[in-house]
A and B are shown apart, each in its own frame.
Chain A
Amino acid sequence: MSKEIQAVFAGFGGQGTLFAGKLMAYAGLIESREVSWFPSYGPEMRGGTANCSVTISDSPIGSPLVATPDVVVAMNQPSFDRFVDAVKPGGVVVADTSMVNDLGNRDDITVVGIPATKIAEEASLKGLANIVLMGRLYAAVPYCKPETIDKALAKCIPSKKVAMLEKNKQAIKLGMEA
């Protein structure tokens, strides 16, 4: 059976959930695996929430829309509530507890809460809570080689913004250690 990981990244518009998903997709691309990234673009987006589905696989990917994720990164309470029940048994949810108070009561999945927004702000990395969560996600579910994360960041951030790249790397590190 081929290895496949299906993920959902969800939060308010502007929190960087689409970017976080893109980072994971690039990690898959760099390791020459099958990859798909599919954003929400429907009426829900008009309501201020944004989410995207990412799949990394060793065989061709069917629907890019992830219905039953292995992992969820939730950046606010509505997103957590919406996706937590869909997670496969044994799956992982990484939540920003600066924004999510109620971590539910499923005992067949692992729920990891870190105050990502607070961690980012205290490290003068305002706006990088999404990347802090990506660091924590990687610590919980290493879906690629460690060095691939830095390479994926370099792909996602324009080469002109060197300072931004360094901040992102720092945010990943903080997340991994959180």
Chain B
Amino acid sequence: MTEKVLMKGNEAMAESALRAGCRFFFGYPITPQTELAAYMSKRMPLIGGTYLQAESEVSAINMVYGAAAAGARVMTSSSSPGISLKSEGISYMAGSDLPGVIINVQRGGPGLGSIQPSQSDYWQATRATGHGDFQIVVYAPSTVQEMCDCVYSAFDTADKYRIPVMILADGMLGQMMEPVVLPDKIDFCDLPDKPWATTGHGHKRSHNIVNSLYLTAEELEDLNIERYKRYELIKQNEQKAEQFLTEDADIVLVAFGASARIARSAVVAARGEGIKAGLLRPITLWPFPVDAVKDTFDSAKIYLTVEMNMGQMVDDVKLAVNGKRPVEFYGRTGGVIPTPAETLEKIREINERIGE
């Protein structure tokens, strides 16, 4: 077996990106994400890659746009306020069908907010990463190992569908260390061809154009419809979730990322008291794992989302449940981390109510 190493989530995501063939990183420092950029600044020059600290997040995302247009595997990372600054560029990437990986190590918001862990960019990531008709794929890892694995496969997903992919992490996951097995380095020969990339044509082919400006409405409509067909494919193929003790669960908790770790502890404690609780953990937030939610219909009497925000995922769970069961919420916000004990208290309260 490959050796396990102890790494911070931020560092593991950086190393994983390098192993996935990322050779361009453009960023701007912000807590609690900075170790990722620092790691890239150390490693990129040693392996012939490019690390560039831009003068702002806006510049960084436009550099990502440029490198992606040239066909490179490219990444940027930031934390909540910085992602807002990048949102225009992300929309341009989506409108130009450019693959790239964007990491958000969330902190409390809105505004400059706090620097503590939070999940309050759920809506931004899954609904409106920028203006216009588009979606991006969003992964929500909950361990350092999964952060590493998600980043690695994010580059493939981005290339496969020509779509920006976001890793939605948070300050807890970014700062913590856990044992991790790093993936093998890819062979650059295995990377997919990008016949659309602007690589220089040498008068041997017609030139490629990467662009998101279409002044003819009908042309843009056709492109958007084509893109939404691709989104349907992504919904069919890319949903990911983990079920934990949901098979016979009356109360199904739904939680992602850091809060899923806390929800899991609460579920284990509830089971210890004879309460039939389970956890459904979305790993992709877009596409939302609606099929996994449907799998829990047989036993679930009620759903409880547990989040580090004011309840942003509740809507998606309600859409998946489609009125068949009640959906409740427990969470903390502003950078406060909920405890397993207070989550268990909420489970107990629900259990008493549904038992009546």
Interface of A toward B, CB cutoff 8 Å: 22, 25-26, 29, 32, 34-39, 41-43, 60-65, 67, 155
Contact = CB atoms under 8 A, between A and B. Distances in A.
Contacts of A67: 339, 341
A41 to B, nearest CB: 5
Chain B interface residue number, banded? 20 to 34
Contacts, number: 63
B26 to A, nearest CB: 24
* 4 tightest Cβ-Cβ pairs between the two chains A and B: A62-B265, A37-B177, A38-B176, A64-B176
B191 interface: no
B319 interface: no
B32 A37 contact: no
A37 B115 contact: no
Contacts of A155: 6
Given A36-B177, A63-B337, A42 B6 contact: no
11 contacts: A25-B6, A29-B179, A36-B176, A36-B177, A38-B177, A61-B178, A62-B266, A62-B340, A63-B262, A63-B337, A67-B341
Contacts of A65: 172, 337
B264 A60 contact: yes
B172 A42 contact: no
B261 interface: yes
A83 to B, nearest CB: 16
Interface in B288-341: 335, 337, 339-341
B243 interface: no
A63 B175 contact: no
A62 B171 CA distance: 15
B4 interface: yes
Interface in B154-188: 171-172, 175-179
A39 B339 contact: no
Given A29-B179, A41-B32, A41-B175, A61 B115 contact: no
A32 B181 CA distance: 12
B339 A26 contact: no
A149 B341 CA distance: 33
A36 B171 CA distance: 14
B351 interface: no
Interface centre among A22, A34, A35, A36 (most CB of B within 10 A): A36
Interface in B1-35: 4, 6, 31-32
Contact of A63 (B4, B31, B261, B335): B261
A85 to B, nearest CB: 16
Contact of A26 (B6, B175, B261, B341): B6
B116 interface: yes
A65 B338 CA distance: 10
Interface centre among A26, A35, A38, A61 (most CB of B within 10 A): A38
A63 B115 contact: no
Interface centre among B116, B178, B261, B265 (most CB of A within 10 A): B178
